[in-house]
Chains A and B, each alone.
Chain A
């Protein structure tokens, strides 16, 4: 068997193999799915930098596939596309995990702030309820309105939590807590003052 007769079939086989190179469709679909899941987990909000890079990798992958698709079949090589698809998928999975973790942390912080705010408002309303009725109550009317406003604002915290807008929920809850404490202090001061007076007997006005 001479050398020529050996090289020719091997070369043909290699050329045929090269001509058969196909894009790594399954890996690309898997990478896209992983990126979508990362986005749905809130990655664009909680790990925005990392998520942007994952999207960048996905875009690079698509461009690489497109570049290879544009070449003659003989010269196509999807090796780099496979690497990018694998990188995009694994990075998207990491980002998804990270986003879920941060989202849970934000949710926990918002829920804790909500509970603290609720307790503060409850304490404020209890103080308002202690206020005497009748004539002496007049000085507390505006404070009562404030306490009612704080109670109503707690609904906004819940709405923000329901909408998964945890930063807004947390800042709102903290604001309610601070304001509630200020109102409680105001009530205590007013109660200390009017406590010296006698309750009113007349009802009509």
Chain B
């Protein structure tokens, strides 16, 4: 078989060449492209999650490894590796991909939890803020809170803006600060109006009203009792209740009057010092009270002496029970205001010297005490 040897040789050489080509082909790709792309994808996912901002330590750990491997990938590009040699670099990339996937998964969950927390907190604080506004309006005490309601509003707007930007941690922080602001509003209201929930104080007010009614009975004449919390004026005759009218107070009416211009309606025992009929007042008809009385003056002097009232503030006066000048006017500067038809009825039933007792509240379950209780419960809940 003379032709057999060359044929065998060519077959052997052919297979050998194929094997060599196969071996060489196995050596070209030191690191599979898919391993690099997988890590690049993880990096993209982490960037989308803004891991560098929200979890800088996790992202730093990932990038430190990724940059180290990337430099090895670039350095290894021209190296020839035998297929049977272990590929440490590929293994390291696969491991980083796996670790990175776990980090992406964990951060996705953490971010979702944070998003949910921010959303819940915003809703919770907004509910509370709405309730605060309603309750505070109901007792006309918005001014007591000063700038705080606006501060809360601004913080909530910021919380919303940060939430929309995906900055849930900042959103949560702003909502938390808004909640703290609401807490301080509740504290302020308690400080200002705590006496409306104070049994001793209410007993004192009840006694003042009782004394006035007794005086009316003994002297067989008229007397007026005004409850600020209920916003009710009651006319008594011979110690008997004749009629009650709803009233409007000063723009800071629930507060205790301390000085001129504070918008508060005074509390105490007064008398009608003058009756102003039609044409004598801009408020339809008016019953001028003898505010300030001796007790008001004593308290004013003391507070001014102790610096609680600025030296520039006078004690005020011209406190009246009057009718309505302008139907759109909701509040007074410290007077007690009745609708005109009721004012004329009252005006005709009282005289100069008729006692007028103005108290904070006449029962423990008054509107101010109830508001404080509601706000106190809310504060505990958030």
Contacts and interface: CB of A to CB of B under 8 A. Distances in A.
Contacts of A205: 250, 260-261, 263, 316-319, 332-335
Interface stretch (B4-12, B150-158, B297-305): B150-158
Interface stretch (A9-17, A21-29, A100-108, A132-140): A132-140
B312 interface: no
Interface residues of B, number: 58
A49 B44 CA distance: 10
Interface string B137-181: 000001100111111011101100110010100100000000000
Given A48-B56, A49-B52, A145-B147, A136 B329 contact: yes
A53 B150 CA distance: 43
B53 interface: yes
Interface in A152-205: 152-153, 167-168, 171-172, 174-176, 178-179, 193-194, 196-198, 200-205
A176 to B, nearest CB: 6
A204 B316 contact: yes
B329 A138 contact: yes
Interface stretch (A30-38, A56-64, A68-76): A56-64
A84 interface: yes
A138 to B, nearest CB: 4
A175 B326 contact: no
Contact of B251 (A55, A138, A153, A172): A138
A94 to B, nearest CB: 15
B325 interface: yes
B329 A201 contact: no
B67 A139 contact: no
A54 to B, nearest CB: 9
Question: For chain A, what secondary structure do more than half of its interface residues adopt (helix, strand, loop), or is it mixed?
Answer: helix
A138 B52 contact: no
Contacts, number: 159
A142 interface: yes
Given A142-B142, A175-B157, A49 B170 contact: no
Given A57-B67, A64-B71, A153 B317 contact: no
A142 B136 CA distance: 12
Contacts of B334: 205
B105 interface: no
Contacts of B326: 136, 194, 196-198
Nearest to A141: B251
28 contacts: A48-B56, A49-B47, A52-B59, A52-B63, A56-B64, A83-B75, A135-B329, A135-B333, A138-B331, A139-B331, A148-B147, A167-B162, A167-B167, A175-B154, A176-B154, A179-B154, A179-B157, A194-B328, A197-B325, A198-B282, A198-B326, A200-B333, A203-B318, A204-B314, A204-B318, A205-B261, A205-B319, A205-B332
**3 closest pairs, A vs B, by CB?**
A197-B326, A56-B67, A149-B147
Interface of B: 46-47, 50, 52-53, 56, 59-60, 63-68, 70-71, 74-75, 142-143, 146-151, 153-155, 157-158, 161-162, 165, 167, 170, 250-252, 260-261, 263, 282, 314, 316-319, 325-326, 328-335
Given A145-B147, A205-B333, 16 more contacts: A52-B56, A56-B66, A59-B67, A60-B70, A63-B68, A84-B71, A139-B329, A142-B142, A142-B251, A149-B148, A149-B150, A171-B157, A175-B154, A175-B158, A194-B329, A204-B318
